[in-house]
Structure 1
Amino acid sequence: MDSKTLRKKFLDFFEKNDHVIIPSASLVPSEEEQLAGKEKVLFTSAGMQQLIPYLMGKPHPKGNKLADVQKCVRTDDIEQVGDATHHTFFEMLGNWSLGDYWKDKAIELSFKFLTEELKIPIEKLAISVFAGDEDAPKDEESANKWKSLGILGKRIAYLGKEANWWPTNSSSFGPCGPDTEMFIWTGEGSAPEEFDPKDPKWIEVWNDVFMEFNRKSDGTLEELPQKNVDTGMGLERMLAVINGKDNDYETDLSSSIIEKICEELRVSYEQYKQPIRIISDHIKASVFLIKDDVISSNKMQGYVLRRLLRRAATKAFQINKEFGRKPFKSLVKSVTDIYPMYFDEMSVESIEREVSIEIGKFRKTLEKGLREVEKIEKIDGKIAFDLYQTFGFPYEVTEELFRQKGQEIDKEQFKAEFEKHQQLSRTASSGMFKGGLENHSEVVIKYHTATHLLHQALRDILGPQVFQKGSNITAERLRFDFSFDRKLTDSETRQVEELVNQKIKDDLKVDHMIIPLDEAKKMNAIGLFDEKYADKVSIYGIGPQPRGRYYSLEFCGGPHVEHTGVIGKIAIFKEEAVSFGIRRIYANIAL
């Protein structure tokens, strides 16, 4: 069975059983999900996250019986990626009852799907249920239901919160409760008469969580206003099990990516099985994160994306030193081809561009950094921070490299160095540079001048009604807000990008003038006229023309490059609405 068939079987089954199919939510949780009684998280890591407001009692517009296939990212087990079952990106099949059916119906639906739709023999099934503690009683109700369906008592294990409570982390707050989990025997011959949860040949494939509690921030439990069912089945794991595979990487969800990696690295899978699995997993997760608007950076979700791409790049480089940004770019298509329902041609191109830029940046320093690692006899937190600062090695990449040498890093010392650097940066910049600039580094200054060219190009292509409404510039990208009442067409976006790049190629001179305000207005310099200007103002002109005119002329405090040729080629990778009548463009310097 392939992944498309399994997804369809699951959704069709629950639709036939009166569930409404809802789309997958973004990998970056919405503000509403974040605020609805659960601690903040970087990514959607479970199917329930988009439903948190409704688990807490808010009526769902689609009804109280739902099902979906949710894309998820988890990085807490990143060190185990490369074994048989761990991933950073995965899909979760799930069904929910929001105050409708309870344990009896939930277990019956799960049993029917496993035995009737997937044709799994009851002899190969085993179950675990909650053993009970001071928070909730022993779950005999679930156990008795399983027995009524034909599961033998010896195949039912009673386990504690570490195994049969979700979320398992007692420090997590929000909706929670006991669960029952389903296992399939994957060993040779008949399954043992008695279920041993510690036997690795029993693979857990599905859990039904009975969410009747809300864990408050002080750790205490209160009853939810309604009893909910939240189930989760990992698509990758179930697909491997029903196809008789002993690992998740040999199904149609990964095999073509691995083939492409081996082709580009010019090695066999058997030679480098674990690192190739890591590259496969990390490129897949990266592609999905970029699709959901995550951009490589040193903060929040952007740092995780950077960490994934750079860890994959390090693994690839250690196998084949010629493996650079072009081969990585080619891997993007091998991912998107597996998931056509999530990607269109435009998004594939923008993802390829982002991957190429990030790998290109890191590739320039990777080889030098690895040579430096070889020279270091004893690692500590300060040296690890120096590797991060100088070569762009995320802490986790350095940690892994030195574990291979039998050494551990003092993480607290690394954090102290990192915080010291942040404090120095804050002091140097007095907290914030004006004009939306992250700092006054060379690359940020290039982006700043590019925003002026972008502003004028938008006016040239779309009309004089376009005006800047804001900007934000970092070392990774520029963000530019402007007045316009509709989405740009693909053709308009390409025209704007081409015009900006032509002006960069023309290597236009950039002039800085401090002149009286009235004179600047007579020159038709563009400014944010809701701001109050002094009698004398700073303006920047790009591309001097006859009679004192410029291609671009704006009120601005700078700084800017001296001529546009040093900027490099600009690539627009996203255009979106900010609010009514305001659009936003993201662009970066293509390598």
Structure 2
Amino acid sequence: MIKKMKAAELRRKYIEFFKRHGHAEIKSAPLVPENDPTCLFTTAGMHPLVPYLLGEKHPAGKRLVDVQKCLRTGDIDEVGDPFHLTFFEMLGNWSLGDYFKEEAIAMSFEFLTKELGFAPENIKVTCFAGDENAPRDNEAAGIWIKLGIPEQNISYLGKDDNWWGPAGQTGPCGPDTEMFVPLDRPDCGPACGPACGCGKWVEIWNDVFMQYNKTIDGKYVPLEKPNVDTGMGVERVTAFMQGVRSAYETELFSGIFAKIADLANNPEANYNNRRARVVAEHLRASTFLIADGVKPGNVDQGYVLRRLIRRAVREARQLGINDMFCSKIADVVISEYSDAYPELAQHADAIRDELNREEEQFAKTLENGTREFNKLIEKFPPQLENKVISGRKAFNLYETYGFPLELTRDMAKEMGFTVDEKGFEEAYAKHQEQSRAGAMQKFKGGLADSSDKTAALHTATHLLHKALRLTLNNSVAQAGSNITAERLRFDFTYEDKMTPEQIKQVEDIVNEQIKRDLTVTCEEVSLEVAKERGAIGLFEAKYGEVVKLYTVGDFSMEICGGPHAPRTGAMGHFKILKEESSSRGVRRIKAVLE
């Protein structure tokens, strides 16, 4: 019998189950990836573990389990319907070259039937049908049948349905097997199942068997040690276990909706209200982003955060909330989620400050921009059928009044208009602004390569970090990094623009360490030992009690998980190309190794 449970119980049951099966619990990584320049956010549970899925040894061992914070922006415009979310939690268990299909499927079956209470005959599964790159996965299907899943409950589907990855153009990938459970509604017909699309069968879990590494030339090379990567969404499963349609109807959001209804003085501002759903979802996501160090800005992660906050503010105004409110919603999120994510309580003041500052700034933008938008709309003849706001006029709203394109598009849609977005981008490019379209490309995901050039640039960020602390002050801290095979980008906390003399000094310090041909060593030590030695603990939340400590000669010591050069001598000449503001209180350096 299906067991009713809340999200906290689901998380606990999942972690405890896999710990009993020999898995080490690891903490959630931050929402901002450290070593992946092609992706703005941690988009899946496997994202922070890519180096280990490719063969690097994980400090916690070969069997891992976690609850990972994730954020995806591809469906941001769909948030407001009963189902879409940007921020979500993903339960995952991992085998890094240890067990494979038989044990993974057996544990999934045991958890679904014993811990969650699903009857075997009410579970349907899908397996990979096979193609020119990999054969049909008869092995997985045979394991399910042996465990008690009726053969007629197994479907074979193609790559669009039963193949995972790679997240970018290259990387680990392989067939998967997905588990489906039924909603309480009649079959759509004799062939009703996971592939029919009627909505009765809901995917509840996914076991990915990473057997291949896709290369840059499109080949699928078998991995020497295949891995298992699984994913079960907390929000989706919680809703299912409680017998409701969506996560918005569960305790994951009930406290937030209660606060929205109170602030709006409207009991109907609840999970059934589209605007209330936007406010609840976007401010929950924003709270987690700020806790992980993101600040509202005009590019990259900051751009997304600003968009989430501003969309929430506009929808709240339509609900009748005209006073400052964002930090009040954040307080609910902090209160209800801090047991699972302590970083929320640790950064509560920063969360409130950033939300208040952004909300105050946007209030004036919203008032002035809305007035000008309405003037623009009034100029269209009422009888006109195809009502299109030109890209130039949309850009003028942005440039003159700070009115984001997304806001213009949302308001236009509500009034039966469309926006010439291509024309907007052309106008934007002409004014030599940062291209929003370029930033959006990063939302598609992908994984950084681990070439020698990338490894050298990663080591250069360690040298740069220490050089900045020596040149500016010892409180300078890394706020993010972005590394490709061509260049590095390094964000750090500092209020003032660096002088040319300071930039030159930093370059000289880094190049001196390269010239010294220092050895780069890696040790696995406890987090406590790393701190005692004076290591810089960047992104500590993503590591467990055992960490990798990288030391560059006698110069720098950092906790890190990325690829590194073995020595500094062959790295090349370090050159800073640009030093600029990234966001409030954060500077950005772009540099190369020549």
TM-score for both structures, normalised by structure 1? 0.70
Partner of 1:559: none
Pair 1:10-2:29 in alignment: no
Q: Secondary structure at the match of 1:337?
A: helix
Show structure 1 runs of 4+ deviating over 4 A. 189-195, 465-472, 527-532, 576-582, 586-589
TM superposition shift of 1:295: 0.7
Partner of 1:561: none
The question of whether the paired residues in 2 share the 8 Å contact of 1:471 and 1:481 is answered with: no
Partner of 1:503: none
Partner of 1:414: 424
1:117-154 CA-partner distances (Å, limit 9, x unpaired): 11122232111111111111111111111111221222
Partner of 1:90: 88
Pair 1:23-2:27 in alignment: yes
The question of whether the paired residues in 1 share the 8 Å contact of 2:338 and 2:345 is answered with: no
Distance 1:376 1:8, change over 3 A: same
Q: Which amino acid aligns with 2:62?
A: N
Question: 1:8-157 counterparts in 2 under 5 A?
Answer: 8-31=12-35, 34=36, 40-157=38-155
Partner of 1:308: 308
Q: Secondary structure at the match of 2:46?
A: helix
Pair 1:374-2:384 in alignment: no
TM superposition shift of 1:374: 2.3
Aligned partner of 1:184 among 181, 184, 190: 181
Partner of 1:237: 236
Aligned partner of 1:480 among 464, 478, 494: 494
Q: Secondary structure at the match of 2:494?
A: strand
Q: Give distance in 1, aligned partners of 2:34 and 2:537.
A: 16
When structure 1 is superposed on structure 2, of 179-188 and 7-16 the one drifting more is: 179-188
When structure 1 is superposed on structure 2, of 397-406 and 301-310 the one drifting more is: 397-406
TM superposition shift of 1:467: 6.0
TM superposition shift of 1:229: 0.6
Pair 1:393-2:407 in alignment: no
Q: Which amino acid aligns with 1:3?
A: A
Pair 1:223-2:233 in alignment: no
Pair 1:358-2:351 in alignment: no
Q: Which amino acid aligns with 1:368?
A: N
Aligned partner of 2:163 among 138, 162, 165: 165
Q: Give distance in 2, aligned partners of 1:163 and 1:581.
A: 44
Q: Give distance in 1, aligned partners of 2:495 and 2:360.
A: 27
Question: 1:428-467 counterparts in 2 under 5 A?
Answer: none
Q: Which amino acid aligns with 1:175?
A: P
Q: Which amino acid aligns with 1:40?
A: T
Distance 1:101 1:468, change over 3 A: closer
Partner of 2:332: 334
TM superposition shift of 1:285: 0.6
Partner of 2:570: none
Q: Secondary structure at the match of 1:422?
A: coil
The question of whether the paired residues in 2 share the 8 Å contact of 1:85 and 1:237 is answered with: no
Q: Give distance in 1, aligned partners of 2:477 and 2:221.
A: 45
Pair 1:296-2:296 in alignment: yes
Q: Give distance in 2, aligned partners of 1:289 and 1:163.
A: 30
Pair 1:279-2:276 in alignment: no
Q: Which amino acid aligns with 2:419?
A: I
1:485-511 CA-partner distances (Å, limit 9, x unpaired): xxxxxxxxxxxxxxxxxxxxxxxxxxx
Q: Give distance in 2, aligned partners of 1:95 and 1:212.
A: 16
TM superposition shift of 1:74: 0.4
Higher relative contact order (CA 8 A, sep 6+): 2
Q: Secondary structure at the match of 1:183?
A: strand
Q: Give distance in 1, aligned partners of 2:503 and 2:9.
A: 59
TM superposition shift of 1:191: 10
Q: Which amino acid aligns with 1:230?
A: D
Pair 1:175-2:189 in alignment: no
Q: Give distance in 1, aligned partners of 2:81 and 2:423.
A: 30
Q: Which amino acid aligns with 1:186?
A: L
Partner of 1:405: 415
Partner of 2:509: none
1:271-322 CA-partner distances (Å, limit 9, x unpaired): 96111111111001101110010011001100000011011111111222x4
Pair 1:212-2:216 in alignment: no
Partner of 1:317: 317
Q: Give distance in 2, aligned partners of 1:531 and 1:297.
A: 24
When structure 1 is superposed on structure 2, of 301-310 and 378-387 the one drifting more is: 378-387
TM superposition shift of 1:83: 2.4
* Aligned-residue identity in percent: 42
Distance 1:234 1:365, change over 3 A: same
Partner of 2:511: none
The question of whether the paired residues in 2 share the 8 Å contact of 1:205 and 1:237 is answered with: yes
Q: Which amino acid aligns with 1:215?
A: K
Q: Secondary structure at the match of 1:329?
A: helix
The question of whether the paired residues in 2 share the 8 Å contact of 1:157 and 1:195 is answered with: no
Q: Secondary structure at the match of 2:31?
A: coil
The question of whether the paired residues in 1 share the 8 Å contact of 2:124 and 2:154 is answered with: yes
Q: Secondary structure at the match of 2:208?
A: strand
Q: Which amino acid aligns with 1:398?
A: T
Q: Secondary structure at the match of 1:5?
A: helix
Partner of 2:465: none
TM superposition shift of 1:411: 2.1
Distance 1:239 1:193, change over 3 A: farther
TM superposition shift of 1:254: 0.9
Q: Secondary structure at the match of 1:254?
A: helix
Pair 1:200-2:199 in alignment: yes
TM superposition shift of 1:194: 5.2
The question of whether the paired residues in 2 share the 8 Å contact of 1:154 and 1:193 is answered with: no
Unaligned runs of 5+ in 2: 378-387, 436-470, 479-490, 505-535, 539-554, 559-582, 587-594
TM superposition shift of 1:224: 2.1
TM-score for both structures, normalised by structure 2? 0.70
Q: Which amino acid aligns with 2:64?
A: L
1:317-346 CA-partner distances (Å, limit 9, x unpaired): 1222x424x211111111111211324545
Q: Which amino acid aligns with 1:139?
A: D
The question of whether the paired residues in 2 share the 8 Å contact of 1:470 and 1:481 is answered with: no
Q: Give distance in 1, aligned partners of 2:472 and 2:122.
A: 66
When structure 1 is superposed on structure 2, of 87-96 and 407-416 the one drifting more is: 407-416
Q: Give distance in 2, aligned partners of 1:3 and 1:62.
A: 26
Larger Rg: 1
Q: Give distance in 2, aligned partners of 1:370 and 1:147.
A: 60
Question: 1:517-556 counterparts in 2 under 5 A?
Answer: none
The question of whether the paired residues in 1 share the 8 Å contact of 2:299 and 2:434 is answered with: no
The question of whether the paired residues in 2 share the 8 Å contact of 1:27 and 1:72 is answered with: yes
Q: Which amino acid aligns with 2:494?
A: F
TM superposition shift of 1:51: 0.7
Q: Secondary structure at the match of 1:175?
A: strand
Q: Which amino acid aligns with 2:90?
A: M
Q: Secondary structure at the match of 1:338?
A: helix
When structure 1 is superposed on structure 2, of 123-132 and 64-73 the one drifting more is: 123-132
The question of whether the paired residues in 2 share the 8 Å contact of 1:154 and 1:194 is answered with: no
Q: Which amino acid aligns with 1:297?
A: G
Distance 1:199 1:471, change over 3 A: closer
